[in-house]
Amino acid sequence: MIEVRDLRKQYGEFVAVSGSTFTVDRGEVFGIIGPNGAGKTTTLKMLAGLLEPTAGEATVAGYEAGDPEMRRQLGFLPEESPLYEEMTPVSYLRFFADLYDVPREVADDRLHGTLDRLDLDHRDRPLGDMSKGMKRKVAIARSLINDPDVLVYDEPGSGLDPLTTNYIIEFTRELGEEGKTVVFSAHNLFHVESICDRVAVMNGGDIVAKGDLDRLQAEHGHTEYHVYTTVEVDRSVRENGRYRRVVDTMEAVERTREAAEAAGGSVVDIRTEESNLEEVFLNLAEREE
């Protein structure tokens, strides 16, 4: 559905994105994460056809980024979404439906259905009188007014309260389940971890890692073993009437068992903790510095 090959964007001597390559399958939710200035927004704008790449190419459903037909199949949500504040949500969405030649009856069914799902009331109130969260929901509805196959969302929950952010992230997950292809960036790694099929990690304009979460954890994360014993062993701490020692290899687990038995005790529990996406991301960022 989406193919990005050697995509590069350079402003004079400054390289914002240096040769990104990735693919996104139909119906996949693909996340792009990275620190501020990593190149996420620039990548998404090139993918949406809003920025011309210095080199490389991006295609969506077989069309080059920026092709008019590609634009009809793509919905874009920028991080900041200025709206026509004198308009109401209904008049605003009808305006964009007209730009896409969506028949009025179809447009009204679609916009009201989407606003219902987003739990947006006060549809005849001017946008200028609405909260940032309400405006964000209208911007999301705008990205769906042409019923696109592909959605490109830049920080969909940015600057919103936690409740609204979670609502929007859950809605994005539902869009993927309905067959939409979604590419989005986010700084909240919990949200990425909860809804993405695969992710790309960007830093300094480069994609430093990509793949499904299990693969990234295996390649760039680590596993901790929390070994609980009935007696004190080296580097253990007392906890609820027993002792806990944290190690990172199965060999160390076995040595802990042997030490406990030598002291007249035993191992009573072993718990495994895997790195989460935030820890993987921090490990990758540290390696690139």
Backbone angles phi and psi of 46, in degrees to 5: -65, -40
> What CA–CA distance (Å, rounded) separates 51 from 43?
9
Torsion of CA 207, 212, 214, 216, to 10 degrees: -10
Mean pLDDT over residues 201-224, rounded? 83
Q: How many whole angstroms separate alpha carbon 15 and alpha carbon 31?
A: 22
Kindly report, residue by residue over 53-90, the tens digit of the pLDDT: 999 999 998 899 889 899 889 999 999 888 999 999 99
Instruction: Check residue 231 and report its DSSP letter.
Output: S
Domain boundaries, the chain: 2-218, 222-274
Each residue of 120-164: pLDDT tens digit?
988 999 999 999 999 999 999 999 999 999 999 999 988 888 888
The amino acid at 172:
T
pTM score of the predicted model: 0.79
For the segment 225-241, the average pLDDT, to the nearest whole number, is 93
Q: Which of 248, 240, 288 is nearest to 268 (CA)?
A: 240
Residue with tokens 């995509």: 7
Is the per-residue pLDDT at 217 higher than 80?
no
Q: Check pLDDT > 70 for residue 286.
A: no
> How many Cα neighbours within 13 Å face the side chain of 147?
10
Lowest mean pLDDT among 36-50, 96-110, 201-215: 201-215
Least confident stretch, 8-12, 105-109, 278-282: 278-282
Backbone angles phi, psi at 223, to 5 degrees: -115, 135
**Across all residues in the chain, what is the average pLDDT?**
90
* 135 token code pair: 């405006």
Res. 288 pLDDT band, cuts 50 70 90: low
Which residues fall within 8 angstroms of residue 9, CB to CB, at 6 or more apart?
A: 15, 16, 17, 39, 42, 46, 51, 53, 54
Q: Determine the number of helices (DSSP H) and then strands (DSSP E) in the chain.
A: 10, 14
CB 190 within 8 A of CB 281: no
Pick the CATH number of 2-218 from 3.30.300.30, 1.10.1510.10, 3.40.50.300, 3.40.50.920: 3.40.50.300
The CA–CA distances, whole Å, from 87 to 62, 101, 126, 132 equal 36, 20, 5, 15
φ, ψ of residue 60 to 5 degrees: the values are -125, 120
Residue 270's alpha-carbon distances to 22, 172, 217, 227, 266, in angstroms, are 39, 37, 20, 5, 12
Dihedrals φ, ψ of 177, to 5°?
A: -65, -25
| Contacts of 88 by beta carbon, 8 Å cutoff, 6+ apart | 123, 124, 125, 126, 127
What are phi and psi for residue 214, nearest 5 degrees?
-65, -40
What pLDDT sits at residue 222? Answer: 73
